[in-house]
Structures are given as structure tokens and as C-alpha cells.
Structure 1
Amino acid sequence: MIMNPIPTQSSEIRVTPIPRMTQGGRWRVEAMRSYTSDLLLWFTRGQGRITVSGRTRGFGAHNAVFIPAGTMHGFEITSQVFGTAAFFPRSLNLAFPQEPLHLRIRDAAPQGDLTLILENLQRELDGDRPKKERAAENYAGLFSVWLDRAKLQYPQNERKSEKADQLVARYSTMIEEQFRSGRTVSEYAQALGITPTHLSRICNKSCGRSASALLADRILYEARRLLRETKLPVQQVAAQLGFTSAAYFSRAFQNHTGKTPSDFRRGA
């Protein structure tokens, strides 16, 4: 069965429990990927680590993570992690931040406000009342106001961004824009004006992964998504992701996942 619980492209507001995002495999949230919609992750229970734009932080209960559309990210999920994910299409033209935010909401009042907004939003989306789309858009607008207030109340007290952090963020953006091109880490490093060794060193410091691991993770997420959600032949999947041959793609896929592309697709 072809499964697509969370589309990478959507023109609709969507709200879903965070555990449901893993339908089809934990790789759906743990591997590096992005969406064309702005994303809110509202963690209400559990803890783990989340990587956004090449930087890894810990998250816990009552953490709100806002991830703009097109931003590469992934996060750990266990049976203890619970919360809500909300997807807001760019067509809403809301005044959302252009940079990621990680807010630790310590007080009960704003925690309750956000939970209520998301519950009301979900109720409108699931119901059949007239003008539900308009109502959902208004709740999305209320969320944008909540986010602006939370930014003022809970500023991100983090160390000043260093040049290395900026380079990793730029590398993350370049991967997201060009991971289908077949470019190597050396070519990305050259475009950034640094050596591959230095790029890998700063990636390890920022997120605990090498530059090649970040790149491979993004490519393999897309490979698995295409194998699960489309009927494209393996050869076409390989070509779309910049591999020079289907055989090379199959070897790389099996080395990282333990399965051939065909076996992975049959397991859907």
C-alpha cells in the first residue's frame, strides 16, 4: 500500500499527533527532510534531540519548535514523546518568522493558550461546519500572534552564533536546495570556501554528524519517500537523486538501510 501520512507539499492546514508522523517508519521524522509548509512542533511530553539547519539541541515537554518551510530538520522520537505537529501553507501569507525558533514555554498560561488554539484548529479541520476553512485560517492567525508574544516572553538565550554555525547553516540550506544534483561534499565545501575536512569538523561539532552523513541522510530520506509513495522505477528514483546508475544507487541504499530499494518498497 502506498502511504503518505504527511505530504511534503500541501496547500492545506494540517494538524496531527507527532507519533502519527512516524507511520511507515521512524525515518519519516528522524531523517533529514523539509516541507513546503511552515511547521510547528509542540512537544508536550518526553524528551530528545532535534536538528534544525544543521544544529542539534535537546527538547523536552512544553517546547515549541517553529520550522520555516524549506528548512532541513529531523528529530528523535521514542514512545515517551508526544505532542502536536501543525502545518501551515505559505499561501496563508501569515507573518511567521523566516528563521527557526525553539521556545521553552515555562508558564501554564501560554502552554494552555497554545494547546487550546491547536485543539480548536483540529476541531474545525475534522468537522463539517460551514466556512470551516475560514475558521481554520483564523486560528492559524491566532497562532501567529501567540508565536510573536512567546518570542517576546521567552527570548532564545543562546550563545552568539559563531562563524562555524553560520557555515553549517549555509551548508544545510545548500543541501536542501541541491541534494538532487549529485554534488559531492568536496563540491559543497568548495562553494563555501573551506576544505571538506573543515566542513566535516564543524558539522560534527554542531550536530554530531559528518558533512557526508548529513548529505546522505537527506538523499536517503527522499529515496525512501519516493519508493514508498510513488511507483517510479528504481532507475528513475536513482536518476532523480543524482546517481549515475541504478546499481550505484542500490548499493548505497542497501549500505545505509540494510535493504535493497525493491525490498524496501515491498515492505510498504
Structure 2
Amino acid sequence: MARQNLPKVETLATHQRSEAWRTDAAQSLDYPILFWITRGQGRVMVDCKMRGVGPNTAIYIPPHTLFSYEMFASPQGMVVSLSRDENAGFPNRPALLKATSVQMQSEISGLIDALSRELNELRTGQRRAVMAYAMMIGVWLDRALTDQPQGELGKSDRVLRKFSHVVSIGHRDGKSLGEFAADLQVTPTHLTRLTQNAVGKPASAILQERVIQAACEALLHTDRPVQDIAEKLGFSSPAYFTRAFQVHTGKSPSEFRKAR
């Protein structure tokens, strides 16, 4: 069964340990992911917008959406990495949903538990059952989102969302912050002011974090040479890539790969 075609269910603690680098650094995925927080406090950044999270909160992140998260106070929960299947019907916008009723909490917990059981037991019709439970999670999200209509974005929020999107899909292009800002028809200074006010980080730091996250993922999950990874991420030379990587992670790319 191919990973990209079936969901994956794990505890929040297991997911955090498997992260390529820091959870509070900007990242994006090519598949949707759902965090179901049952205990603890934290904060999540989605599309350069910071929100606090607490118990009984569902955080849904669509593919190619810039996000980061940081949890405190002995958090507990589940993480569902969903299918890339475009026909599965998952929402196309991110959501932070507070499950205020016992019914909502029981429904999502039950669906995740049932999905996890099906994934762990080889039984007749497993694939259909897995996809059915995953689609029901999508239905739960759709219904919860109807109670949280999307408001109209202000000008600053629109710029931040566009910046998040271009960084998510274009972090491998080797573009400078100035080039990204020009694409958005704003100045780098204005863009940095917006991100600093919204998430407490300059725009350049968000871009750098996404690039380093991509490097970490490539080092951990592929056998590609460091030189190839540096080239794919737009670095002018392997030496420059190594220096930048070491500044952020404290290790050279080779050391990082061996240590993990």
C-alpha cells in the first residue's frame, strides 16, 4: 500500500519526534494533515496568521499551505496525515476548529480511532474502509466549517496569504525576498513589517525556515547527494548551502543526516 494513497495516524508525540527539524519553523506539505489536540496548550501559524490552541481543537492544513506549530504543557492528541487523492473531498482552506460540544468531540475521536484500527489490521476490504473513514473525517470538517463562515480578508491579510502561498510552492526557486515582494507588488520593508506584526518574524526568516525545512526533509528521506540538494534549493554552491544549513541547525548537512 503506497504511503501517498493511504492516510497515516499517529500520536502527537510520535509525530513531533518524526519532524525533520523544528515544529515552530515554517513548513508545508504536499498532502492534507489534521491535528486533533485533546490536552495542552500551544499556538499554530497558518498562512502567516498566529492563533492560540487548547484542548479539543482540530487544526486542518490543506496541501501546500505554510504552517508551523508549537505545543506546551504536556500536550496530547492525534495527527492524521491524509490522502493526496483530490477526489477525497477534503476542504481546500485551512481551519482551526474548537469542538465545543461532547458530540463533536466524540465524533472526531471515534473516526480517528476507527481509521487507526483499520490501518493496523489486515482485513478484507481494508482499503475501502480506510478511505471511507478518511472521507467521513472530511465530512466532519465540512460540517464544522459551516459554523465558521469565512470572513472577508483585509488588504494586509491578503498579502500575507499570497506570500505564504508563494513561499510554500516556490521556496525551491532560489528567489530572494526582494523578488518575492516584487511578485506581490509590495516592498520588502512593507512585507517584513506585515510578517513581524502578524507572527513576530521578518519575512526573510520565514523564507529561510521553509528552505531549511525542505533541506532537512531531503537529507532525511532521500539518498540525494548534498550537492544535488543544494542545487535543487537554489543555492549558488554546496559550500554556501552548508554554511547556511549549519547556521540554522547547528550541524553540517552530512552530520545532520548521520545523526538522524
TM-score (norm 1): 0.90
Is the counterpart of residue 232 in structure 1 residue 224 in structure 2?
Answer: yes
CA–CA distance in structure 1, aligned partners of residues 89 and 225 of structure 2: 41
CA–CA distance in structure 2, aligned partners of residues 207 and 56 of structure 1: 6
| AA at the equivalent of 2:205 | A
Is the counterpart of residue 167 in structure 1 residue 159 in structure 2?
Answer: yes
Specify the alignment match of 2:9 in structure 1.
15
SS of corresponding position for 2:4: coil
The runs of 5 or more residues in structure 1 that have no matched partner are 1-6
Deviations 1:160-198 (A, max 9, x none): 522111101101100111111110000111111111000
SS of corresponding position for 1:23: helix
Is the counterpart of residue 242 in structure 1 residue 234 in structure 2?
Answer: yes
Q: 1:217 aligns with which of 209, 212, 227?
A: 209
CA–CA distance in structure 1, aligned partners of residues 239 and 10 of structure 2: 37
Q: 2:89 aligns with which of 88, 92, 95?
A: 95
CA–CA distance in structure 2, aligned partners of residues 157 and 241 of structure 1: 34
Is the counterpart of residue 81 in structure 1 residue 75 in structure 2?
Answer: yes
After TM superposition, give the deviation of residue 78 of structure 1 in Å.
4.1
| AA at the equivalent of 1:169 | R
SS of corresponding position for 2:215: helix
SS of corresponding position for 1:86: strand
CA–CA distance in structure 1, aligned partners of residues 188 and 48 of structure 2: 16
CA–CA distance in structure 1, aligned partners of residues 164 and 134 of structure 2: 28
SS of corresponding position for 2:89: coil
Q: May I ask how many residue pairs the two structures share in their alignment?
A: 259
Is the counterpart of residue 251 in structure 1 residue 243 in structure 2?
Answer: yes
SS of corresponding position for 2:91: coil
Which stretch of structure 1 is more off in the superposition, 23-32 or 167-176?
Answer: 23-32
After TM superposition, give the deviation of residue 87 of structure 1 in Å.
2.0
Specify the alignment match of 1:3 in structure 2.
none
CA–CA distance in structure 1, aligned partners of residues 90 and 255 of structure 2: 41
TM-score (norm 2): 0.93
CA–CA distance in structure 2, aligned partners of residues 74 and 18 of structure 1: 14
| AA at the equivalent of 1:143 | I
The runs of 5 or more residues in structure 2 that have no matched partner are none
Q: How does 1:127-146 map to 2 (within 5 A)?
A: 127-146=121-140
After TM superposition, give the deviation of residue 265 of structure 1 in Å.
1.6
Distance 1:89 1:261, change over 3 A: same
Q: Is the contact between residue 20 and residue 216 of structure 2 (CA under 8 Å) also seen in structure 1?
A: no
Deviations 1:70-108 (A, max 9, x none): 112111134612211112223261332211111111111
CA–CA distance in structure 1, aligned partners of residues 81 and 19 of structure 2: 20
CA–CA distance in structure 2, aligned partners of residues 175 and 152 of structure 1: 29
Please tell me the root mean square deviation across aligned C-alpha atoms, in Å.
1.9
Q: How does 1:34-49 map to 2 (within 5 A)?
A: 34-49=28-43
Aligned-residue sequence identity (percent) comes to 35
After TM superposition, give the deviation of residue 26 of structure 1 in Å.
7.1
Q: Is the contact between residue 11 and residue 89 of structure 1 (CA under 8 Å) also seen in structure 2?
A: yes
Q: 2:46 aligns with which of 49, 52, 68?
A: 52
SS of corresponding position for 1:103: strand
